[in-house]
Structure 1
């Protein structure tokens, strides 16, 4: 038995015990043995570059160790399903919603970001038998060898440090290895892909962000950023950049997706485009319907209480969502559409510059790819398309880890703070 197979068997057994019996482990192991594509999947390091799962960590009664159900719970990532889906780890995002661009707003965002980072680290420390904090690509590989799932920290939106860029060093000391400057709305660093141009790319402070990220060995993530920001980041950064969860505009024309021309620039810099599974970026929005829009707006207001929402409360909201969707049906993307984005990206920029993130627990999820347990389907589809296991290994984690290595190799060793590791 290979080291990876041994690790998988051990993890499956542990997960099965949490699920109430060894039957799950036996069934999962048998499935891998009987399915050649699954056997290939189990030998790869499978990494998702954008989990929004940390938003669940402060919820009463919610645990990363419980097996949740996407359809009823609305949750798409947990330890048992990482095992079930053959997922070795990923970047757990510190997502901070955009807010007032004031000193008070900046301080609140800073405190929120630090608290979220602490929650992620506490999760890893509490379950150090199955999780391991990762700071480097080598750490991810060591976690796999130790039969654990690795946890990188990333930041989605520069709001927590836009008021004081020295805070980037603080977050680096907490273990953050990837940062994006902006989210849905413009901020003091950059223009968003989904807002009207303000800076026409990076602000002067945003350009300082690029330089500081390079100095600290932080991977620059331009998902959610405008096209101008992407191009300027490529021009200014010494290291390759990443789009941690995006799509291809040639397949579906949406400002959150990357154009072929810009994707080529990313690849020429050595960067990677991680293809996501977010339906709204893959199919056209339905025609406006005042009744549906009002119902969904009220529903989304309920989801804004995520941090304090109990499991029962979220299930109730999910039931309301299903009822609204049944009453006002809208187009939903599917697995074939996801593969169209993925295969187009590979054919355009090459196998060395493409990866995957479902954007799970952050709005991602489509028919046929609704949580991380569906990830073996992607491996099977890529094998069917003629790609080798070595090729697929690059897509599943090798490319993203390479970008991390290159960013950290270009860092100023004197600038990178020591990170306390507790596991």
Structure 2
């Protein structure tokens, strides 16, 4: 029997390290091919905001430099993105009956815009409501359209309205956005926390989402709100577009303790590419002031083409400093290190402010796959990260809802 001495062990380790170091990095072409072979979903597409703009055609190729859009069919096909959760978003308004009703109408119109996109292009898109729909739609050569709601403000004080959106196809819902509302505390409200987590109405929302089979989304929620959602929900929750506090301590990100609690409950974090949440970027007061003027013009109802032209001027005179792709991957790899590939996915916040240097639209998504492969993650891991984790959470929500029906 051969006995290894210290010198032989040292040589063997050296050879192993040498072989590892010499391993060829994955080409972008190979990474793209692998990505095309699996189901790929992004869990937070704010693109429906463009669908309601005059002149925007989702079938045509746009560029970020021209109209600041980041998702369209040609770019999805090039970037090997099969689809995802297309967002119903309504900005926060006053917590009044009139405010709720105005927002409700906006949300319904946004949901109808998503449906119109699908029904007007049946050879391109297909609506998805069940976990198994994603693979079937991809196999049919179409793009996948699940629907989510960012900010439950449009529901007002009647959580039963959630069922209306469920019947329209909604399968994910987040209670809050930038500010506290009737359902709970936001991570970024300047006034601080109001409820200490979920409000009593927010607790009702959790129960109603569980009953219907809708996944709860803790993105934008205060940590206390997220903890309440994890504690009260009968099914795992998702953070559809969030980063890690360990890499950058921002209120929109979660620390390792909460990340572990999320994973222990079966939940998933989907990695956000919103630059301001990824790194401490230089402040640009002139840019901020210029955008205040742009927002004022928008409030006055100025023509969209004129607004886009004005934004181009601002971007030329006061260009934004974006986080790097490497910083984005630091958040991504840290989350993978803490909770593993069964609890991490992708939700870059496209068309909602997402985008980092060298990845400003969906065309460059294969760079993520390339980097993960080079880090040693397998194709099976990529299948989980790109779709299976989010679909597993959706399956759990469906299963619980079905169990309530059979128990009656």
Q: Is TM-score (shorter-chain normalized) higher than 0.5?
A: yes
2:132 partner SS = helix
The answer on whether the counterparts of 2:101 and 2:156 sit within 8 Å (CA) in structure 1 is no
Question: Quick one: which of 372, 396, 399 aligns to 1:406?
Answer: 396
Alpha-carbon spacing, 1:67–1:353, altered in 2? closer, same or farther (3 Å) = same
Counterpart position of 1:204: 200
| Cα distance in 1, alignment partners of residues 300 and 120 from structure 2 | 25
The 5-angstrom pairing of residues 383-422 of structure 1 reads: 383-412=373-402
Counterpart position of 1:53: 47
- The alignment covers a number of residue pairs equal to 379
Alpha-carbon spacing, 1:346–1:414, altered in 2? closer, same or farther (3 Å) = closer
Question: Quick one: which of 260, 271, 290 aligns to 1:295?
Answer: 290
| Cα distance in 2, alignment partners of residues 334 and 303 from structure 1 | 30
CA drift of 1:123 comes to 0.7
Counterpart position of 2:312: 319
Bigger Rg over Cα: 2
| Cα distance in 1, alignment partners of residues 138 and 321 from structure 2 | 39
Deviations 1:293-352 (A, max 9, x none): 32232134445689x854x335413312312324xxx64201000100000000101110
| Cα distance in 1, alignment partners of residues 28 and 288 from structure 2 | 46
| Cα distance in 2, alignment partners of residues 337 and 285 from structure 1 | 12
1:160 aligns with 2:154: yes
CA drift of 1:35 comes to 2.4
Please list every run of 5 or more consecutive structure 2 residues that lacks an aligned counterpart in the other structure: 1-25
Question: Quick one: which of 335, 344, 363 aligns to 2:334?
Answer: 344
1:152 partner SS = strand
2:58 partner SS = coil
CA drift of 1:125 comes to 0.2
1:266 aligns with 2:262: yes
| Cα distance in 1, alignment partners of residues 353 and 311 from structure 2 | 13
Alpha-carbon spacing, 1:67–1:275, altered in 2? closer, same or farther (3 Å) = same
The 5-angstrom pairing of residues 92-131 of structure 1 reads: 92-131=86-125
Question: Quick one: which of 66, 71, 78 aligns to 1:72?
Answer: 66
Deviations 1:240-296 (A, max 9, x none): 00000010010001000011110111100101000011010012143463x443223
The answer on whether the counterparts of 1:247 and 1:257 sit within 8 Å (CA) in structure 2 is yes
Counterpart position of 1:216: 212
Please list every run of 5 or more consecutive structure 1 residues that lacks an aligned counterpart in the other structure: 1-31, 417-423
- My pick for the range that moved more, 185-194 or 331-340, is 331-340
Deviations 1:140-159 (A, max 9, x none): 11101110001001000001
Question: Quick one: which of 343, 346, 357 aligns to 1:353?
Answer: 343
CA drift of 1:413 comes to 6.8
The 5-angstrom pairing of residues 214-293 of structure 1 reads: 214-287=210-283, 289=285, 291-293=286-288
CA drift of 1:37 comes to 1.6
The answer on whether the counterparts of 2:287 and 2:314 sit within 8 Å (CA) in structure 1 is no
| Cα distance in 1, alignment partners of residues 380 and 297 from structure 2 | 44
CA drift of 1:216 comes to 0.4
| Cα distance in 2, alignment partners of residues 355 and 179 from structure 1 | 17
CA drift of 1:162 comes to 3.0
1:87 partner SS = coil
Deviations 1:173-232 (A, max 9, x none): 000000000000110001000011000100000001001100000000010000000101
Alpha-carbon spacing, 1:43–1:125, altered in 2? closer, same or farther (3 Å) = same
The answer on whether the counterparts of 1:246 and 1:273 sit within 8 Å (CA) in structure 2 is yes
CA drift of 1:409 comes to 0.6
CA drift of 1:381 comes to 0.5
1:149 aligns with 2:143: yes
The 5-angstrom pairing of residues 372-383 of structure 1 reads: 372-383=362-373
| Cα distance in 2, alignment partners of residues 347 and 230 from structure 1 | 21
CA-based RMSD of the aligned residues comes to: 2.0
| Cα distance in 1, alignment partners of residues 123 and 200 from structure 2 | 44
2:98 partner SS = helix
| Cα distance in 1, alignment partners of residues 273 and 54 from structure 2 | 28
Detail structure 1 runs of 4+ shifted over 6 Å in the superposition: 413-416
1:364 aligns with 2:354: yes
1:93 partner SS = strand
